Amino acid sequence: MMLSDIRVLEIGQNLSGPFAGAILADLGATVEKIEKQDGDDARKWGPPISPDSSAIFHLMNRGKSSVVLNLKEEQGKAQLRSLIAESDILIHNMRPGTMAALGLDGQTLTAQFPHLIYCDMGAFGHKGPLRNRPGYEPLMQAFAGLVSVNGHPDGPEARIGASVVDLGTGMWTAIGALAALWNRARTGKGCIVNTSLLETALMWGASHLATYVTSGFIPARHGTGHPLLVPYQAFETQDGPLVIAPGNDRLFKALVGALGHPEWAEDPRFLNNELRRKHKEEIIGLIAGVIRPMPMAELEEKLNSAGVPNAPIRTMPQVLEDSQVQALDILQPLPGLKDVAMMALPVSFNGERPKIRSAAPAIGEVAVPRS
């Protein structure tokens, strides 16, 4: 395992902190989850699939052990410091100010334990006028402008369906921790890694922000479409929508050829992407008119033969039944829980994906033996 000699302490709640810990656990690190007496709140998010844990909790906390500590008491803080002395990384996403009030902030702990990589996951960031405000996924999508660019242009704004900010912050934290480990190997010193929900949300909206900064145009909502590429969206077929994504002029030519209208590629209005953007309604209308009466399977066959990227909009059951998804072996059984499977880490090494080593622990359970 890539991180088999690395020890991690996670003082995490809900999604972002636990996901950072789950990434490192899947990569082989020994991860001990510090919990309050009644456990992480996410244990109760949704129907339970084990006595004290929901599916979401298992997804975010597989491969860890649980250590119950009361960090408001000196004994609990002393026990934590004993664990820190033996650990490489500490991750927390506690409410801003909480760790400092307990005397467990990054400056204090890295001074006491110079080897420690202290990952401080905030809401609005580690500096600035809002640094002490708490935050959650939908608030950050709204605050960073993501909600404003999501949804159908003729309808209301919409939250992005997946928790991209929480999970993204977990990813950035794991990336930061791994970079800090590499630096420590060279210098012998740990450091403080700062991440936040707002910074992640701003990064996910970076292309929209860049477009506004350079053009002055406020980004609009495009439904399944794209603000910069045309055509690049879902089209209704006889039996459902198909997303078609010709990402360059060559693929546009292949698309209109497959649709039986190669002359559209020579039309002065559609010669390149920038012209198609200016005449979006015309080209989208022409393509939609040809596609609407076609059976989806027939259209897919034509587009695949022409090398034009496309995909149907699927439900979750359809995703799980897909032969390509199954071939990736990314859905793995959760050890100890019969008939329960979870998405594994979306990365492989020499073609092999890291295995989920255990289900999430019960409160206080050592699920993964300490090495």
Is 192 within 8 Å of 107 (Cβ atoms)? Answer: yes
Does 29 reside within a domain? yes
Pair 172, 197 in one domain: yes
CA distance 276 to 125: 40
Does 63 reside within a domain? yes
Instruction: State how beta strands 7-11 and 89-92 pair.
Output: parallel
Pair 20, 132 in one domain: yes
Pair 242, 171 in one domain: no
What is the chain's pLDDT, residue by residue, as a tens digit (371 residues)? 789 999 999 999 999 999 999 999 999 999 999 999 999 999 999 888 888 899 999 999 999 999 999 999 999 999 999 999 999 999 999 999 999 999 999 999 999 999 999 999 999 999 999 999 999 999 999 999 999 999 999 899 999 999 999 999 999 999 999 999 999 999 999 999 999 999 999 999 999 999 899 999 888 888 999 988 999 999 999 999 999 999 999 999 999 999 999 999 999 999 999 999 999 999 999 999 999 999 999 999 999 999 999 999 999 999 999 999 999 999 999 988 878 899 999 999 999 999 999 999 999 998 755 44
CATH number at residue 289: 3.30.1540.10
**Dihedral-angle region of residue 103 (phi above 0 means left; psi in -120 to 50 means alpha; beta otherwise):** left
Pair 335, 283 in one domain: no
Q: Which of 20, 26, 29 is nearest to 62 (CA)?
A: 26
Give catalytic residue positions.
226
Does 359 reside within a domain? no
Pair 198, 290 in one domain: no
Pair 301, 338 in one domain: no
Does 299 reside within a domain? yes
Place of tokens 């900064």: 213
How would DSSP label each residue in 280-291? HHHHHHHHHHHH
CA distance 154 to 176: 40
CA distance 170 to 251: 36
Does 73 reside within a domain? yes
Does 88 reside within a domain? yes
Does 261 reside within a domain? yes
Pair 244, 163 in one domain: no
Pair 73, 169 in one domain: yes
Which domain range does residue 238 map to? 233-312
Helix (H, G, I), strand (E, B) or coil at 368: coil
Pair 73, 170 in one domain: yes
Pair 21, 113 in one domain: yes
CA distance 276 to 187: 53
Pair 301, 334 in one domain: no
Pair 118, 51 in one domain: yes
